[in-house]
């Protein structure tokens, strides 16, 4: 089983592939629609699992509190854009414009995680302390994937 850093990075790599597919397709093609569904569901499950496992551990470290809060805030901003896109006609020019914002912001977020947060987390959290977090992340992601629609319905009620 991969460690937490490898598990998160593997998801990021897949998300980069899906972003490229979405950017390279046009209109409401089947390819774009399928890539969007996978991206939308996987990113939502990924972000929730990341917050529950990795960022909860970072918050327990003095250094990590500000960085974890910043990343969780970015998750919310990205989620808001994804919800906008999910409601738009993907064949419209407005969809592509908004998607480009999402792509830019998401790539910035994952680059920051991989190049700054991971590096610092490795310095302040020992391997012994974080052992098993990759498995926890994967298990939580599977659970979160099943809760996406339920959480969306709950959010609409607020």
The whole-number average pLDDT for the span 50-76 is 86
Q: Which of 32-36, 54-58, 107-111, 114-118 has the lowest mean pLDDT?
A: 54-58
The structural domains of the chain, with segments of one domain joined by +, span 4-157
Q: For the domain made up of 4-157, give the CATH fold.
A: 1.20.120
Q: What is the pTM of this model?
A: 0.90
Cβ burial of 84 (10 Å; 0-12, 13-18, 19+) is middle
- pLDDT value of residue 156: 47
Output the CA angle 98-103-101, nearest 5 degrees.
35
Q: How far apart are CA 68 and CA 62, in angstroms?
A: 10
- pLDDT value of residue 115: 95
Q: Which of 68-72, 108-112, 136-140 has the lowest mean pLDDT?
A: 68-72
Residue percentage of the chain with pLDDT more than 70: 92
- 81 pLDDT higher than 80: yes
């Amino acid at each position: 089983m991969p460690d937490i850093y490898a598990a998160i990075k593997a998801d990021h790599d897949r998300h980069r592939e899906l972003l490229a597919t979405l950017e390279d397709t046009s209109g409401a093609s089947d390819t774009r629609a399928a890539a969007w569904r996978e991206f939308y569901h996987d990113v939502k499950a990924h972000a929730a699992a990341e917050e529950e496992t990795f960022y909860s551990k970072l918050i327990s470290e003095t250094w990590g509190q500000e960085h974890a809060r910043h990343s969780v805030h970015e998750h919310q901003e990205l989620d808001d854009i994804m919800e906008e896109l999910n409601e738009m006609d993907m064949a419209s020019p407005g969809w592509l414009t908004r998607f480009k914002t999402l792509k830019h912001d998401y790539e910035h977020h994952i680059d920051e995680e991989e190049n700054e947060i991971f590096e610092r987390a490795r310095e302040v959290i020992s391997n012994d302390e974080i052992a098993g977090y990759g498995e926890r992340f994967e298990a939580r992601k599977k659970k979160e994937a099943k809760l996406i629609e339920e959480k969306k319905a709950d959010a609409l009620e607020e």
